[in-house]
Amino acid sequence: MSEWAAASPTVTAVLSLVTAWLCVGGLGLVRPNKVGWIAHVLFPLGAVIALGVAAIGATTWLPAFVAQQAVLPLGLPDLPFHVRLDALSGFFLLLLGSAGTGISIFSAGYFRAGEGTAPGLLCLQYHVFLASMAMVMLADDAYLFMVAWETMALSSYFLVTTQHRLPEIRRAGFLYLLMAHVGALGILLCFGVLHGGSWQMTFDAMRTATLAPFWMSIAFLLALFGFGAKAGLVPLHVWLPEAHPAAPSPVSAMMSGLMLKTAIYGLLRVSLDVLPAGPWWWGVLTLALGLGTALYGVVFAAVQTDMKRLLAYSSIENIGLIVAGIGLVLICRSVDMRVLAALALAAVLIHALNHALFKSLLFLATGSVMHATGERSLGKLGGLIRRMPWVAAFALVGSLAIAGLPPLNGFVSEWLLLQAFLQTPHIPHAFLNMIVPLGAAVVSLAAALAGYVMVKFYGVIFLGQHRESTLAMAHDASGLERIGLAWLALGCVLIGAFPQVALDVVGHVTQLLLGDTAQRGSSWWWITPAATHQASYSGLWFWVGLLAVTGATFVFVRRFYRGRVRRTAAWDCGYPWQTPRMQDSAEGFGQPIRHLFGPIFKIERELPRPSDATPRYRIQIEDRIWLACYQPLGRVLQRVTESLAVLQGGRLAVYLLYSFLTLIVLLVCVL
């Protein structure tokens, strides 16, 4: 117990907050079907705790802060749990807490009775999920890390299958669980390599373990595989577009906004903290995987017709960008260019935070839309800006942010990432030197495509005419939901306006991992990663400039040319009949991308003929990776297991014989 007593107040506080989350979850079981109790007491309580977690994460950048460790009196004998709070875990706790606050407030208004799992149970799973993510970020030994990691996977599995009566949701949940465990296996093996024969499971021991270069590379590849499966790195992404749409919207928001970030956290922890600087090809591999994932995700997002699937693919894209950034960090680290590595790492961390904010925001907005309309398919929505002005306004902020448009937060991380790419051409390696600008080209292409995707997402859901007559009855989100959305939207705007604060914050992390920071200038108004005359950007002044010029134009036009405004039918080149069906559908909006990137997809189309009395148009777009890799693998597994099924004779005596033989064989071995 002495170690427990010696733990610093900060660590004690964060652990008690995690425990509080568990307690809140447990309280849900007290009256599992009382919606008012759960929605109006427990979830807001969870939000307050999340705020506390964020605050503790924020303390890690106090000047006096040093990394704090503690040993818990839990776990196995001789294998206690170690926790550690340093700048990296602090940053991710901040991410978890700040986005989690918004999601919890929203959930308070969102969850209702009568949808699959009982609300009380849902509340328990939800808070266990949050607590386990916090523990992943606090764990300081492989044992606690894996326990928290598996708890996270299981609790999120139960959350995904909330509507467990629907077979396709059970299927999606199973796929998710399967991939989560394949990934966990990779991580477990990675830790197995990392301890380097010392059998010490703490990260401290792993840091000091000396590994042969070959085993270092093996450990890195295993980590990339394991965390990549969780993050949705192509080709391990297949679970993501199935699981995210299946879950209730706040859960999708948590999985996409928060859980994917635990994988990023793990990758950073292993590749930058535990492992020493590796050969340059680690970085190139990571960069290539990241860029491939980004392009793949965004191209698929552009052709989706289900709004949550679209967002899920967009998450794949963002993870791809983040991983590409990590690749750049690794490249720079391998050639010992610390400032550039710090710049790239800053871009990675800020993008992770940004993605947590805007992706949660958008998933929650789709939740409100689904509650209001009961529809998920883009083909049956439209014109909701008039019925749901609040949700539409918040979703606009999220969409513009995710499209990487200034002066919102998405642009900040994109800007930093491009700056990092731009300043690398002094790498003393000819091939690397040529690959890096290509990386910048792909990043900018993916970012521009994200703009396309978001125009489609926002335009088809919120703009135009109602595609179904029932949409005219849609109602706006409730008060708590609006507060949740507003919290996240505010985060997007603030990071956009004060990027220098974000850069300062992540400076502590880069200092910890790389021993250098990206923030060169000390000015409060600018971010100047290299030097003032080389590159500078000021989010706040950009806001001021844009608003001032827009306002001035508005005032000027209104003051001097105040013509009347008349409302009338749309002109549309004079066509008299206009129906909602004449707008572009989601399929139509994706058509140029389908045409341009045709070979990536497997498209099945059924086109109507002019003579058809009841014309029907059907299109199905499938993932070639699923067809080419997973289905054959599944078939092989099926065949192998079928051949093993011979063992299952059905007679009890035979089964007993198996046990008996096993016993004999084991005894022989002992001899």
Partner 1 sequence: MSAPSLTTQVLQTLAGALLLIAFAMLAERRSRRLVTLLIWQGAVLVTSTLLVAATAHLPHLLFSAMLTLVLKVGVLPWILLRLMHRLGIERDNEPLVNVPTLMLVGLALVIFAFGLAQPITALATTVIRQTLGIALAVILLALLMILARRKAFTQVIGFLALENGLFFGAISTTYGMPMIVELGIALDVLVGVFIFGVFFFHIREQFDSLDLHHLESLKED
Partner 2 sequence: MTAAVYLWQVGVCAVAIGLAPLFAGWVAQCRARLQNRCAPPLWQPYRMLRKLFHKEATLAINASWLFRAAPYVVFAAMVLAAGIIPSLTTELPVARVADAIALVGLFATARVFMALAAMDIGTAFGTLGARREMMIGFLTEPALLMVLFNAFLMAGTTALPAIVQNTLAQPHVMLHPSLAFAAVAFVMVLLAENARLPIDNPSTHLELTMIHEAMVLEYSARHLALIEWASWLKLFNYACIGFTLFVPWGIATHGVSLGGIALAMLLLVAKLGVAGAALAFFETTSAKLRLFRAPEFLTMAFLLAVLGLLVHLLLEG
Residues of this chain that bind partner 1 (CB under 8 A): 430-431, 434-435, 438, 596, 599
Residue written as tokens 């396709």?
168
Q: Is 572 in the site for partner 2 (CB under 8 A)?
A: yes
Binding mask 521-560 for partner 2 (x = CB under 8 A): -----x-----xxxxxxx--xx--xx--xx--xx--x--x
Give the C-alpha separation, 293 to 300, whole Å. Answer: 11
Distance between start and end Cα atoms, the chain? 43
Q: Which is nearer to partner 1, 430 or 647 (CB)?
A: 430
Q: How far apart are CA 243 and CA 222, in angstroms?
A: 24
- Amino acid in the structure at residue 435: I
Q: Does 567 bind partner 2 (CB under 8 A)?
A: yes
Token pair, residue 144, equals 């606690």
10 or 465: CB nearest partner 2: 465
CB 119 within 8 A of CB 33: yes
* Shortest spacing between CB 598 and partner 1, in angstroms: 9
CB of 201 or CB of 432, closer to partner 1: 432
Amino acid sitting at position 406 = P
What is the pattern of x (binds partner 2, CB under 8 A) and - over residues 432-471?
A: -xx--xx-xx--xx-xxx-xx-xxx-xxx--xxx------
> Which of the listed partners (partner 1, partner 2, none) does 406 bind, with a CB threshold of 5 to 8 Å by partner kind?
partner 2
Task: Choose the contact partner of 459 out of partner 2, partner 1, none; CB within 5 to 8 A by kind.
Answer: partner 2
For the bound state, the minimum distance from the C-beta of residue 209 to partner 2, rounded and expressed in Å, comes to 39
- Please give the torsion angle defined by the CA atoms of residues 489, 13, 509 and 143, in that order, rounded to the nearest 10 degrees: -110
Decide which of partner 1, partner 2, none touches 385; Cβ closer than 5 to 8 Å per partner kind.
Answer: partner 2
Bond from prior residue into 407 cis (ω within 30 degrees of 0): yes
Closest to partner 2 by CB, 374 or 425: 425
SS3 69: strand
3-state secondary structure of 139: strand
Please tell me what DSSP assigns to residue 630. I
Min. distance of Cβ 63 from partner 2 in angstroms? Answer: 29
Minimum distance from CB of 284 to partner 1 (Å)? 13
Task: Kindly state whether residue 18 participates in binding partner 2, applying the rule CB under 8 A.
Answer: no
> What residues have CB less than 8 Å from 419, skipping those under 6 apart?
343, 347, 529, 530, 535
Q: Residue 529 Cβ, how far from partner 2 at the closest point, in Å? A: 10
Q: Which does 486 bind (CB under 5 to 8 A by kind): partner 2, partner 1, none?
A: none
What one-letter code names the amino acid at 453?
A: V
Q: Degrees (nearest 5) of the Cα angle 119, 114, 168?
A: 95
| Cβ closest to partner 1, residue 433 vs residue 550 | 433
Q: Taking CB within 5 to 8 Å according to partner kind, which of partner 2, partner 1, none is near residue 431? A: partner 1
CB atoms within 10 A of CB 44: 18
| Smaller CB separation from partner 2, 328 or 509 | 328
The residues facing 70 across adjacent strands are 83
CB of 381 to partner 2, least distance (A): 12
* Contact yes or no for 605/397 (Cβ under 8 A): no
**472 scored as a contact of partner 2 (CB under 8 A):** no
What minimum distance in Å lies between the beta carbon of 624 and partner 1? 16
Cis peptide bond upstream of 235, omega within 30 = yes
55 or 535: CB nearest partner 2: 535
How far apart (Å, rounded) are the C-alpha atoms in residues 635 and 637? Answer: 5
Rounded CA separation 254/126 (Å): 9
406 binds partner 2 (CB under 8 A): yes
Q: Which of 3, 168, 584, 604 binds partner 2 (CB under 8 A)?
A: 584
Binding to partner 2 by residue 473, rule CB under 8 A?
no
Position among 405, 619, 625, 629 found at the interface with partner 2 (CB under 8 A): 405
The smaller minimum CB distance to partner 1, of residues 428 and 576, is found at 428
What residues contact residue 445 under an 8 Å CB cut-off, 6+ apart?
A: 295
Which of partner 1, partner 2, none has residue 578 at its interface (CB below 5 to 8 Å by kind)?
partner 2
Q: How far is the CB of 582 from partner 2 (least distance, A)?
A: 4
Residue 405 binding target from partner 2, partner 1, none, CB below 5 to 8 Å by type: partner 2
By rule CB under 8 A, what string of x and - marks binding of each residue 585-614 to partner 2?
Answer: ---xx-xxx-xx------------------
CB of 437 to partner 1, least distance (A): 10
SS3 71: strand
Q: Of 263 and 343, which CB lies nearer to partner 2 in the complex structure?
A: 343
55 contact choice in partner 2, partner 1, none (CB below 5 to 8 Å, kind-dependent): none
Q: Could you tell me the smallest distance in angstroms from the CB atom of residue 237 to partner 1?
A: 23
Stretch that binds partner 2, among 338-346, 358-366, 514-522, 574-582 (CB under 8 A): 574-582
Structure tokens, 147: 């326990």
Report the alpha-carbon distance of residue 310 to residue 497 in Å, rounded.
28
Tell me: does residue 418 bind partner 2 (CB under 8 A). Answer: yes
Rounded least distance, CB 173 to partner 2, Å: 34
What is d(CA 307, CA 304) in angstroms, rounded to the nearest whole number? 7
Question: Which residue, 599 or 610, is less far from partner 1 as judged by CB?
Answer: 599
- Give me the sign of the Cα torsion angle 234, 235, 238, 240: negative
Q: Which does 463 bind (CB under 5 to 8 A by kind): partner 1, partner 2, none?
A: partner 2
Q: Which amino acid does the sequence have at 46?
A: G
Size of the site for partner 2 (CB under 8 A): 82
435 binds, among partner 1, partner 2, none (CB under 5 to 8 A by kind): partner 1
Question: Cα 249 vs. chain centroid, distance in angstroms?
Answer: 14
- DSSP of 433-466: HHHHHHHHHHHHHHHHHHHHHHHHHHHHHHSSS-
- Asked if residue 489 lies in contact with residue 477, where contact means CB atoms within 8 angstroms, the answer is no
Q: What is the footprint of partner 2 within residues 198-237 (CB under 8 A)?
A: none
Note whether 619 binds partner 2 by CB under 8 A.
Answer: no
Does residue 396 interact with partner 2 by CB under 8 A?
yes
Query: Which alpha helices (H) appear in 67-141, and where do they start and end?
Result: 87-110, 119-138
Look at residue 83 and give its three-state secondary structure: strand
- For residue 2, the tally of other CB atoms under 10 A from its CB is 7
Contact 162, 124 (CB under 8 A): no
